[in-house]
């Protein structure tokens, strides 16, 4: 795909402030995505946890409400956008959602269309003016549909028409999802901290470090 410019960005799909701080300290957090489930898991109030995250991460931080009407989503979105300058408003796919995306985009508020499971939904999100679209690969894999194939389709379509909407590969379960998303050229992969943790390791790296250390010390002791 595109993907002009930047190398694949790594977002954390988490509201765990300590884990976000840890990986941000290593320089690997380009942004954060949250959802109501992750906020509930954090044990904190949404506004408080988002404020903490926005102090740590300067990149986009997606915030999701739970309104069902466009009016409610717009009201929420305008409020979230006041919390920090890097807040992105997460809006669920659907008619009401797309109305809200158009209205918020018109006011210069960034949006992330979430719960996207088909390329046709991704076309509508881009046409509505979404800044980001979040196709959920893991939840598709869970029902025996190839999630990564959806990323391939969306990337091709956006490239054909030079859509500016960026793809956030979401519902990531493993490193294979990350690698395949990057091979396709997706702009962003949002992953749980556990997946980012695993990306650092390979058993042969660990084995090699151990052996080199032993040999280094043996040679030094001569």
Active-site positions? 90
| DSSP bridge pairs for 12 | 32, 191
Q: How far is the CB of 35 from ligand E4P (least distance, A)?
A: 4
Q: Which is nearer to ligand E4P, 134 or 158 (CB)?
A: 134
Bridge partner list, 62? 33, 88
Q: Per DSSP, what are the bridge partners of residue 168?
A: 188
* Interactions with ligand E4P, residue window 117-176 (CB under 6 A): 134, 136, 138-139, 170-171
- Please, are residues 16 and 44 in contact by the beta-carbon 8 Å criterion? no
CB of 164 to ligand E4P, least distance (A): 19
Per DSSP, what are the bridge partners of residue 148?
A: none
Tell which positions 78-107 bind ligand E4P, by CB under 6 A: none
**Contact string 179-198 vs ligand E4P (x = CB under 6 A):** -----------x--------
Rank residues 168 and 206 by Cβ distance to ligand E4P and give the closer one. 168
- Residue 75 or 139 having the CB closest to ligand E4P: 139
- Give, in degrees to the nearest 5, the angle at Cα 157 between 152 and 161: 150
If phi over 0 gives left and psi between -120 and 50 gives alpha, with beta otherwise, what is residue 185?
Answer: left
Please say which residue, 66 or 209, places its beta carbon nearer to ligand E4P. 66
**How far is residue 131's CA from residue 188's CA, in Å, rounded to a whole number?**
12
Task: Show contacts with ligand E4P in window 43-72 (CB under 6 A).
Answer: none
Helix count and strand count (H, E) for the chain? 11, 8
State the minimum distance, in angstroms, from the CB of residue 205 to ligand E4P.
27
Other residues' Cβ atoms within 10 Å of the Cβ of residue 213: 10
Contact between 182 and 189 under an 8 Å Cβ cutoff? The reply is yes
- Sign of the C-alpha dihedral, residues 41, 47, 49, 54? positive
Write down the least CB distance from residue 77 to ligand E4P, Å. 16
114 binds ligand E4P (CB under 6 A): yes
Residue 92 or residue 96: which is nearer to ligand E4P going by CB? 92
- Beta strands in 77-131, from DSSP E residues, in sequence order: 87-92, 111-116
Contacts with ligand E4P by CB under 6 A: the residue count is: 11
**Shortest reach from residue 11's CB to ligand E4P, in Å:** 8
Which residues would be at the binding site for ligand E4P (CB under 6 A)? 13, 33, 35, 114, 134, 136, 138-139, 170-171, 190
């Amino acid at each position: 795909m595109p993907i002009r410019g930047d190398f694949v960005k790594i977002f954390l799909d988490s509201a765990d402030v300590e884990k976000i701080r840890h990986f941000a300290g290593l320089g690997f957090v380009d942004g954060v995505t949250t959802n109501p489930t992750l906020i509930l898991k954090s044990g904190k109030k949404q506004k408080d946890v988002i404020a903490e995250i926005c102090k740590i991460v300067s990149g986009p931080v997606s915030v999701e409400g739970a309104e069902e009407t466009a009016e409610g989503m717009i009201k929420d979105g305008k409020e979230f956008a006041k919390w920090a300058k890097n807040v992105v408003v997460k809006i669920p796919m659907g008619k009401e959602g797309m109305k809200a995306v158009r209205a918020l985009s018109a006011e210069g508020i960034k949006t992330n269309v979430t719960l996207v499971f088909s390329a046709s939904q991704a076309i509508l999100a881009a046409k509505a003016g979404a800044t980001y679209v979040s196709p959920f690969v893991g939840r598709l894999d869970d029902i025996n549909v190839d999630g990564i194939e959806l990323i391939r389709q969306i990337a091709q379509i956006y490239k054909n028409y030079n859509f500016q909407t960026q793809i956030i590969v979401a519902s990531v379960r493993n490193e294979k999802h990350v690698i395949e998303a990057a091979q396709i050229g997706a702009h962003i992969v949002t992953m749980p901290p556990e997946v980012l943790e695993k990306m650092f390791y390979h058993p042969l790296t660990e084995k090699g470090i151990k052996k080199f250390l032993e040999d280094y010390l043996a040679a030094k002791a001569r």
